[in-house]
Amino acid sequence: MVTKFISKRNLEFLLYEVFDAESLTQFKYYQEHNRKIFDMVLSAASKLAENLLYPIFEEMDRNQPELIDGQVKVHPTVKIILREFGNGGWIASRASFEKDGEQLPHLIADVCDFIFQAANYSAATYAGLTSGASHLIESFADTELNNIYVPKMRAGKWQGTMALTEPEAGSSLSDVATQAEPVDQDYYLIKGQKIFISAGDHDCAENIVHLMLAKIKGAPAGAKGISLFIIPKKRVAEDGKLVDNDVMTSGIYHKLGYRGCPIAQLSLGDNNNCRGWLVGKPHNGLKYMFQMMNEARIGVGLGATAMATAAYYTALEYTKTRCQGRKISQKDPAQPQIPIIEHADVKRMLLFQRAIAEGSLSLILQCSKYVDLVKVLPDEEKEKYHLLLELLTPIAKSYPSEMGIQAISQGLQCLGGSGYCDDYALEQYYRDCRIHPIHEGTTAIQGMDLLGRKVVMQKGRAIMLYANELGKTIKAANKFSELEKPADQLAKALADLQKVTQHLLGVAQTKGPEYFLADATLYLEFFGIIAIAWQWLVQGITAQKALNGNEKDVDRIFYQGKLFTLKYFYGYELPKIMALAKCLMENDGLTVEMTTELF
Amino acid sequence: MVTKFISKRNLEFLLYEVFDAESLTQFKYYQEHNRKIFDMVLSAASKLAENLLYPIFEEMDRNQPELIDGQVKVHPTVKIILREFGNGGWIASRASFEKDGEQLPHLIADVCDFIFQAANYSAATYAGLTSGASHLIESFADTELNNIYVPKMRAGKWQGTMALTEPEAGSSLSDVATQAEPVDQDYYLIKGQKIFISAGDHDCAENIVHLMLAKIKGAPAGAKGISLFIIPKKRVAEDGKLVDNDVMTSGIYHKLGYRGCPIAQLSLGDNNNCRGWLVGKPHNGLKYMFQMMNEARIGVGLGATAMATAAYYTALEYTKTRCQGRKISQKDPAQPQIPIIEHADVKRMLLFQRAIAEGSLSLILQCSKYVDLVKVLPDEEKEKYHLLLELLTPIAKSYPSEMGIQAISQGLQCLGGSGYCDDYALEQYYRDCRIHPIHEGTTAIQGMDLLGRKVVMQKGRAIMLYANELGKTIKAANKFSELEKPADQLAKALADLQKVTQHLLGVAQTKGPEYFLADATLYLEFFGIIAIAWQWLVQGITAQKALNGNEKDVDRIFYQGKLFTLKYFYGYELPKIMALAKCLMENDGLTVEMTTELF
Say whether B564 and A594 touch across the interface (CB within 8 A): yes
Considering only CB atoms, A341 lies closest to which of B572, B587, B596, namely B596
The partner residues of A268 in beta bridges, in order of sequence, read A192, A247
Q: What is the mean pLDDT of residues A356-367?
A: 98
Choose among A526, A198, A573: nearest CA to A357: A573
Question: Strand B234-236 relative to strand B242-244: parallel, antiparallel, unpaired?
Answer: antiparallel
3-state secondary structure of B162: strand
CB contact under 8 A, A435 and B420: yes
Residue B569 lies in a domain: yes
State which residues form the domain around A111: 8-154
The answer to whether residues B94 and B194 belong to one domain is: no
Selection from A67, A198, A58, A62 nearest residue A127 by Cα: A198
Q: Please list every residue in chain A whose beta carbon sits closer than 8 Å to the beta carbon of residue B58.
A: none
A182 with A277, same domain: the answer is: yes
Number of domains in chain A: 3
3-state secondary structure string, A144-209?
A: HHHHHHHHHHHCCCEEEEEECCECCECCCHHHCCCEEEECCCCCEEEEEEEEEEECCCCCCCCEEE
Minimal C-alpha gap between B380 and chain A (Å):
35
- The answer to whether A451 and A523 are in contact (CB under 8 A) is yes
Q: Specify burial of residue A136 (Cβ count, 10 A radius: 0-12, 13-18, 19+).
A: buried
Q: Are A165 and A146 within one domain?
A: no
Residue A131: inside a domain, yes or no? yes
Q: pLDDT tens across B427-452, in order?
A: 999 999 999 999 999 999 999 999 99
Distance separating alpha carbons of residues A324 and A319, to the nearest angstrom: 10
Predicted confidence at residue B498, as pLDDT, reads: 98
Name the burial class of residue B134, with classes exposed (0-12), middle (13-18) and buried (19+) by CB atoms within 10 angstroms of its CB: buried
Q: Please, which residues have CB within 8 angstroms of residue A104's CB and are 6 or more apart in sequence?
A: A33, A41, A93, A94, A112
Summarised one tens digit per residue, pLDDT across range A548-583 is 987 777 799 999 999 999 999 999 999 999 999 999
Question: CA B402 → CA A307, B406, B436, B446, B570, distances in Å?
Answer: 21, 7, 8, 12, 19
3-state SS of chain B: helix, strand, coil percent to 5? 65, 10, 25
- Give the DSSP letter string of A203-236: TTSSEEEEEEEEEETTPPSGGGGEEEEEEESEEE
Domain assignment present for residue A338? The answer is no
- Distance between CA atoms of residues A325 and A537, nearest Å: 35
Cα of A348 to nearest chain B Cα, Å? 6
Q: What is the pLDDT at residue B552? A: 76
In a domain, A517, yes or no: yes
With contact defined as beta carbons under 8 Å apart, do B551 and B543 qualify?
A: no
How far does Cα A138 stand from its chain's mean position?
A: 22
* For residue A430, pLDDT beyond 60: yes
- pLDDT of amino acid B187: 97
Tell me whether residue B190 is in a domain.
yes
pLDDT tens per residue across span B353-406: 999 999 999 999 999 999 999 999 999 999 999 999 999 999 999 999 999 999
Same domain, B142 and B198: no
3-state SS, residue A392 = helix
Distance from the Cα of A145 to chain B's closest Cα (Å) equals: 32
| Contact criterion met (CB < 8 Å) for B438 and A417 | yes
> Of A173, A347, A448, A496, which to mutate for an interface test with B (greatest number of B Cβ within 10 Å)?
A347
pLDDT at B2: 60
- Could you tell me if residue B315 is inside a domain? no
* pLDDT tens sequence across B486-529: 999 999 999 999 999 999 999 999 999 999 999 999 999 999 99
Distance, in Å, from the CA atom of A5 to the CA atom of A411, rounded to the nearest integer, reads 13
Task: Name which of B341, B420, B513 is nearest A434 (Cβ-Cβ).
Answer: B420
pLDDT tens digits for A151-197?
999 999 999 999 999 999 998 999 999 999 999 999 999 999 999 99
Residue B324: name the closest of A442, A325, A566 by CA. Answer: A442
Tens digits of residue pLDDT in A291-317: 888 889 999 999 999 999 999 999 999
In a domain, B319, yes or no: no
Chain A residues within 8 A of B417 when measuring between CB atoms = 165, 170, 195-196, 253, 263, 438-439
Residue A395: alpha-carbon gap to chain centroid: 10
Task: Report the chain A residue with the minimal C-alpha distance to residue B441.
Answer: A416
d(CA A292, CA A286): 10
Spatial contact of A425 and A311, defined as CB atoms under 8 Å apart: yes
Q: CB of B140 within 8 A of CB of B288?
A: yes
At residue A331, does pLDDT exceed 90?
Answer: no
Quick one: B503 and B580 in the same domain?
yes
Ranges of residues in chain B whose predicted pLDDT is under 50 = none
Is residue B217 domain-shared with residue B265, that is, in the same domain? yes
Q: How far apart are CA A455 and CA A452, in angstroms?
A: 7
- The mean per-residue pLDDT over the stretch A338-357 comes to 98
| Backbone dihedral angles phi then psi of residue A176, each to the nearest 5 degrees | -55, 130
- Name the CA dihedral angle for B41, B47, B53, B57, rounded to a multiple of 10 degrees: 130
CB contact under 8 A, B443 and A413: yes
Nearest CA in chain B to A413: B438
CB contact under 8 A, B590 and A568: yes
Of B260, B283, B306, which residue sits at a domain end? B283
Question: Number of residue pairs across A and B with CB atoms under 8 Å?
Answer: 272
Rounded to the nearest 5°, which phi and psi values hold at A72? -80, 130
- Please check whether residues B483 and B554 belong to one and the same domain: yes
Same domain as A129, residue A55: yes
Q: Are residues A459 and A562 in the same domain?
A: yes
The CATH code of the domain that includes B129 is 1.10.540.10
Q: Are residues B88 and B191 in the same domain?
A: no
Closest chain B C-alpha to A472 CA, distance in angstroms: 26
Neighbours of A184 (CB within 10 A): 5
**Which of A66-75, A323-332, B175-184 has the lowest average pLDDT?**
A323-332
pLDDT of A434 > 80? The answer is yes
Please give the model's pTM, rounded to 2 decimal places.
0.98
A475 lies in a domain? yes
Chain A: nearest CA to B219, how far in angstroms?
A: 12
User: Taking CA atoms, what residue in B is nearest to A587?
Assistant: B571
State the Cα–Cα distance between residues A234 and A402, nearest whole angstrom: 38
From the list A332, A421, A439, which residue is nearest B255 (CB)? A421
Packed helices B520-548 and B553-568: angle between N→C axes, nearest 10 degrees: 150
A204 and A276 inside one domain? yes
Same domain, A240 and A271: yes
Task: Note whether B483 and B562 are within 8 A (CB).
Answer: no
CA distance B305 to A136: 47
| Last residue of one domain, picked from the residues A122, A154, A186 | A154
Chain B CB contacts of A331 below 8 Å: 222
Looking at A134, A154, A174, which one is the last position of a domain? A154
The domain that holds A199 is classified in CATH as 2.40.110.10
β-bridge pairing A207-216 and A179-182: parallel
Q: Please, is A294 exposed, middle or buried when counting C-beta atoms within 10 Å of its C-beta (0-12, 13-18, 19+)? A: buried
